[in-house]
Amino acid sequence: MSGEDPAAAFRIEAGELLDQVEQGLLDLGHSLADMDLINAVFRGLHTLKGSGAMFGFDALAAFTHHCETAFDRVRKGQVPATADLVSVILSAQDHMRALVEGDAPAAEGDAILARLQLALENASGAEIPVAEPVSAPRGWRLFFRLPADAMANGTNPLTLLDELRELGEAHIVARTDEVPPLGDLVPTECHIGWDVTLVGDISREDIEDVFIFVMDDMTFEIAALDDAAAAQEDSAASTEIADTTVADSPKTDEPAKAAAVTAARGGESIRVPAERLDELMDRVGELVIAQSRLSQLAHGGDDLVLRSVSEEIERLASELRDTMMVVRMVPVASLFNRFRRLVHDLANDTGKQIALVTEGESTEVDKTVIERLFDPLVHIIRNSCDHGLETAEERAAAGKPETGTVHLSAQQSSGEVLITICDDGKGINRERVRAKAEANGLIQPGQVLAENELLSLIFHPGFSTAAQVTNLSGRGVGMDVVKRTIESLRGSIDVASTEGEGSTITLRIPLTLAIIQGLLVRVGNGCYVIPLAAVEECIELSLEEDLRSRGRSLINLRDRLVPFLRLREMFATGTKPDTHQKIVIVAIGNERVGLVVDQIIGNHQTVIKSLSAFHSSIATFSGATILGDGNVALILDVGQLVAMGQGVDSEEKIYAAG
- Distance from C-alpha of 386 to C-alpha of 388, rounded to nearest angstrom: 6
Which segments within 176-231 are labelled E, that is strand? Answer: 193-199, 219-224
Nearest to 180 by CA among 172, 194, 169, 192: 192
The Cβ of residue 547 has, within 10 Å, a number of other Cβ atoms equal to 9
Residue 483 dihedral angles phi and psi, to the nearest 5°? -65, -45
β-pairing, 621-626 vs 591-597, is unpaired
Q: Which residues pair with 144 in a beta bridge?
A: 194, 220
> Across residues 143-163, what is the average pLDDT?
85
Instruction: Give residue 616's pLDDT.
Output: 65
Angle of CA points 615, 619, 620, to nearest 5°: 100
Neighbours of 191 (CB within 10 A): 17
Q: What are phi and psi of 311, to 5 degrees?
A: -65, -35
Q: CA 591, CA 570: separation in Å to the nearest integer?
A: 20
Q: What are the distances in angstroms from CA 460 to CA 174, 464, 476, 514? A: 70, 9, 8, 29
Residues contacting residue 355 through CB under 8 Å, at least 6 positions apart:
343, 403, 404, 405, 406
CB contact at 8 A, 198 and 208: no
Would you please indicate which residues are annotated as catalytic (active-site) residues?
A: 46, 68, 383
CB 407 within 8 A of CB 357: yes
The mean-pLDDT minimum among 7-16, 416-425, 603-612 falls in 603-612
Q: Is the pLDDT of residue 229 over 80?
A: no
Mean of all residue pLDDT scores within the chain: 79
Q: What is the pLDDT of residues 266-290, one digit of tens each?
A: 445 677 777 788 788 888 888 888 8
pLDDT at 426 over 80: yes
Say if CB 539 and CB 585 are below 8 A apart.
yes
The pLDDT value given to residue 1: 40
Q: What is the DSSP letter of 609?
A: B
On the question of pLDDT at 364 being above 70, the answer is yes
Single out the residue of 214, 204, 202, 231 nearest to residue 145, CA to CA. Answer: 214
356 and 340 in contact (C-beta within 8 Å)? yes
Distance CA 372, CA 485 (A): 8
For residues 485-502, average pLDDT: 84
**So what's the pLDDT on residue 228?**
43
Percent of the chain with pLDDT over 70: 83
Give residue 4's pLDDT band: very low, low, confident or very high (50, 70, 90): low
Contact 494, 452 (CB under 8 A): yes
Whether the pLDDT of residue 130 is over 90: the answer is no
> What pLDDT sits at residue 409?
93
pLDDT at 152 over 60: yes
d(CA 40, CA 95): 20
Q: Is 102 exposed, middle or buried (0-12, 13-18, 19+ CB in 10 A)?
A: exposed
Q: Quote the pLDDT of residue 256.
A: 40
Which amino acid would we find at residue 142? L
Residue 420 reports pLDDT greater than 90? yes
pTM: predicted TM-score of the whole model, two decimal places: 0.64
Task: Identify residue 167 by its one-letter amino acid code.
Answer: L
Crossing angle of the two packed helices 83-101 and 35-54, in degrees rounded to 10: 20
Of 129-143, 197-211, 306-320, give the lowest mean pLDDT range: 129-143
Pairing, β 632-636 against β 526-531: parallel
Strands (E), 50-168: 139-145
pLDDT of residue 422: 94
**Of 176-190, 205-219, 470-484, which one has max mean pLDDT?**
176-190
Has residue 554 got a pLDDT over 90?
A: no
CB-based burial, 586-615: b 16+ in 10 Å, e otherwise: bbbeebbbbbbbbebeeebbbbbeeeeeee
CA pair distance 124, 501, nearest whole angstrom: 43
